[in-house]
Amino acid sequence: MTGLADPAPPRPIARRGGWLTRAFMNPRVHAAVARLPVLGRIAGSEGAAMFGLVGGFVNSQVLLALVELRVLEALADGPQEAAVLARPAGLAVDRMQILLQAGAALRLLRRRRDGRFALARRGAVLLGVPGLAGMIRHHAVFYRDLADPVALLRGQGETELARFWPYVFGAAGPIDPEVAATYSGLMTETQALVAADTLRLADLTGVRHLMDVGGGSGAFLSAALTAHLGLRGTVFDLPAVVPAARARLAGAGVADRAAIVPGSFRDGPLPQGADAISLVRVLYDHADATVAALLAAVRAALPPGGRIIVSEPMSGGDRPDAITDTYFALYTLAMGTGRTRSAARIGEMLAAAGFVRITPHPGPRPYITSVVTGMVPSDAAAD
């Protein structure tokens, strides 16, 4: 005994910073900390960030209006005044001025000293990304499903996205050709970026035959065959979705190395013969039970040493991601059966299906895609 009081036990690391969080929950604290240099800056920063969250939906609607009214395209050739842009858009000049000012505030446009508006770098990027404008227009459906987010989270009522993507539910009989065409168009336009990132992340060295399950119009397979001249490939997807694949593969000059097999993975086993199978933006369309069945079918279709490639936006898991754990998580929820999974969760499902050497490949643009790969054990008996 030293005669001194025992020191207080150290505060758990998990509580570090907790006092500041609790302080900001007290309205009386805000007025006091606003006068203090460091805490005042923190309070101001958090306040601005909070208002950014509150106004986020308005920002997305400004973006939608700029796209729908083709304002960005109109500015691609040079600066314009509000009066010039208002007439073809069917807006009063003062209302076009409001839209342009908002677009400049979002850094999509740039307001010049002479009062005219020009395309900013962010707006130019929007015009340069294939399919982005089409996806923004499509988001009007998603926004309506988000009008009551609590009802969406509770699963109350049918969503518009569930009606837009009928293939997710394994729709019996023919799919509306117009819906199929819209679906194929959206997927084709956005697949260029997805294909580029997937091919950078997934090593196809040594692969002889790649089958892209859910391959739609053949955008990913075309990119893969173009990048790997010795590769052969197959597109497997619903009959209503794949007619455009033949033209795309021919247009890419790879039709002589590609086959198109119509079918549904729900209706039976997958075709044999490929030594690698890709699932590009497929798993997050479906519930766990459907994914488990699909992965089992992929495992059965692959030979020993065969590879699986899963490519899609993934949850950040224990490190929540600002895009995939908000936008994609809610979007797949609104689809009715979808789920945005982490790379760790996908790895668990691959392991349960019998795959080994499961490796995550985080994407440089997680909102475009990340990849998880796996392999059939080399000593596995052929199914």
Question: Domains (ranges, CATH) in the chain?
Answer: 56-128 (1.10.10.10), 149-375 (3.40.50.150)
pLDDT digits (tens, 9 = 90+) for 318-344: 999 999 999 999 999 998 888 999 999
Residue 345 token pair: 């969760």
Q: Which amino acid is at 147?
A: A
* Range from 33-37, 128-132, 255-259, 375-379 carrying the lowest mean pLDDT: 33-37
pLDDT digits (tens, 9 = 90+) for 279-315: 999 999 999 999 999 999 999 999 999 999 999 999 9
Within 10 A of 130 (CB to CB), how many other CB atoms are there? 12
Tell me the angle at which helices 121-128 and 132-145 cross, rounded to the nearest 10 degrees: 90
Q: SS3 for 334?
A: helix
Residue 325 token pair: 């754990």
Q: Is 169 exposed, middle or buried (0-12, 13-18, 19+ CB in 10 A)?
A: middle
pLDDT at 163: 80
Strands 370-375 and 356-361, bridge-based pairing: antiparallel
Residue reference for tokens 């893969």: 224
Whether residue 348 has pLDDT greater than 70: yes
State residue 61 phi and psi, 5-degree precision.
-75, -30
pLDDT at 24: 54
Residue 207 token pair: 């692969």
Whether residue 30 has pLDDT greater than 80: no
Residue reference for tokens 């459907």: 290
pLDDT digits (tens, 9 = 90+) for 133-179: 888 888 888 999 999 999 999 999 889 888 877 655 554 445 555 55
pLDDT digits (tens, 9 = 90+) for 350-371: 999 999 999 999 999 999 999 9
pLDDT digits (tens, 9 = 90+) for 210-250: 999 998 889 999 999 999 999 999 999 988 777 788 889 99
pLDDT digits (tens, 9 = 90+) for 8-21: 444 443 444 565 56
pLDDT digits (tens, 9 = 90+) for 56-108: 889 999 999 999 999 999 999 999 999 999 999 999 999 999 999 999 999 99
Whether residue 40 has pLDDT greater than 70: no
117-132: average pLDDT: 90
pLDDT at 351: 98
The share of the chain scoring above pLDDT 70, in percent, equals: 80
pLDDT at 46: 67
- Specify whether the CB–CB gap between 278 and 210 falls below 8 A: yes
The closest alpha carbon to 245, from 167, 295, 188, 294, belongs to 188
Q: Give the model's confidence band at 2: pLDDT under 50 very low, under 70 low, under 90 confident, else very high.
A: very low
